[in-house]
Structure 1
Amino acid sequence: MKIRNIPFGYCYQNGSIITHPKEEKVIKLIFHSYLNGESLLAISNELNYKNIEYMPGTTNWNKAKVKRIIEDKRYTGQQGYPLIVDTLLYEQVQELKLKRNTQKQINRQSDIYQIQVPVCCSYCGGFMKRMHNCRMKCKEKWICQNRQCKKEVQISDIDFIKSILEILNTIIYNPDLIQQPKIQLIESKKVCQLENEIFQMIEGYDFNKKILQQKALECAAIKYNNLSSNEYITNQLKADFEQSNPLSVFSSELFHKTVRAIQFDKSNKVNLILKNGQVINSKM
């Protein structure tokens, strides 16, 4: 196995250590990429993708190699090595690395990590992803993952959980808010398939009436079953809230028993979509 006898970024010339022109650029790329938010893994993957050699004929970059580079003080001109990275950049990277390590100590049992339902965008219906940036004043925000939408909602974890708690308590105090939705919000895939087949048959004019009748009856039966099932769910939801005491802290058990999804409305307020498809907000 080949072993480097001099740090990456340097080479020997006439017995003296000098910077390696190509590797020097890679060192600067690594420092700036990390400072711009890329992870050690992302940086190593990028270097391998670009076929940048760690040693002649070898491109086996990994997290450990990248980590050693951003921690090596010799790149700032220490121990007789020529300067590649200025001290300010080096210190900024160390400070960021410390903050990222601190983030690893986050309690994954806290309320925000107990939310295991989709968070939806009210504009496009796409899923939203929580982002955390310790350098921002409001450290948390939710971003729609639909590339054509990219709606953003800045809301702290504390306010997010507080909004959910407020809605749950609103229903606990008034379970009659739970009603059977007049329109089934989410049809089954089978219903959509059958309705599409029925439409195509009718558009074709020359169709088998018996087959058409069978498909129509099957579609109606599924819709009726869905309606009956949803009525049962609505009654069960009401019972769950009637049996619950007002909450002073977030209840993961009640939340996941009653909530299908979370939605940010067009004014960026939190709404809850219950198991029966009903949308509830704190103003109801």
Structure 2
Amino acid sequence: MKKIRYIPYGYTMRNGRTVIAQDEAAVIREIFSAYINGASLQSIAELLTERKIPYSERTDVWDKARIARIIGNAKYIGDGEYDPIIEEEQYEEAAAVKTARQRNTFEKNLEGLDLLRDLVRCAECGAPMRRRVSSKHRIRESWDCTDPDCGQRIRISDTHLLEKVTILMNRIIANSYLLIPRPKKRKELSAEAQRINREIDAELERDDPSDALIIVKTIEMAERLYAESDTHLQIAASIARKRVSLMTPQEEFSPAYFCDIAAYLTLGSGGKVILHTKTDVEIGDEENECNQDTQENNIGY
């Protein structure tokens, strides 16, 4: 049975020989140039998809995994079977950029994890969660609930967790109205508010009521009603929306943005992440399962 041989993007078979596909070769040169000049794998993939550049006969959809394979394919500098499409110097420069980005991402991940260390809670019971690392599993990192009666353990890689949080943050940046809390249902006065109200009524019924006391109690009543309403959250939401309007979507986790918007995170079964904002709003991801492709986790640079 004849074997079907894989031919890298940029090449084609002609008269039994592997030759350069010039249209695809031009795309490869563009990819290397963009990557070396600072573009991310994701942004390059999105641009090629938007321009409907074919990746194969079946699809014109690109993703960062496909871009990464091209960036890392040494065949493009030529070998015994493949003619060169790019210069070796350009290939080495792209490799150096990748190494630098990996190092930078690792350092940023450490900064992000240090920030999240005390801000991750269990979605089941609300108790704090603690990060653990074990080399016995494919996904080495996990977050364990500190409540022994709960015992929830969520296995999710550092990279994937920070990516999910970044997606949620970007959703807020693109839609600042998400920060607006739902109005609380009107409810009866609390016992404390009723007590203050009775004291005001009692003072008013006296023959010689004290104006000073009534003023003090009225202010106390106003403070109590404010505390029991969601007015402070509405004000906080208004301020937060103005701050978010000055933000731009991020490709990597931003500790500064997180501190401005988020109060804490909850982790649930399947790696479900919910971001709890400082305006008392929950922003959840749409993935119910922690589907992590090992290859893509390793190439997100």
Using structure 2 for the length normalisation, give the TM-score: 0.46
Q: TM-score, normalised by structure 1?
A: 0.49
- Of structures 1 and 2, the one scoring higher in RCO (CA 8 A, sep 6+) is 2
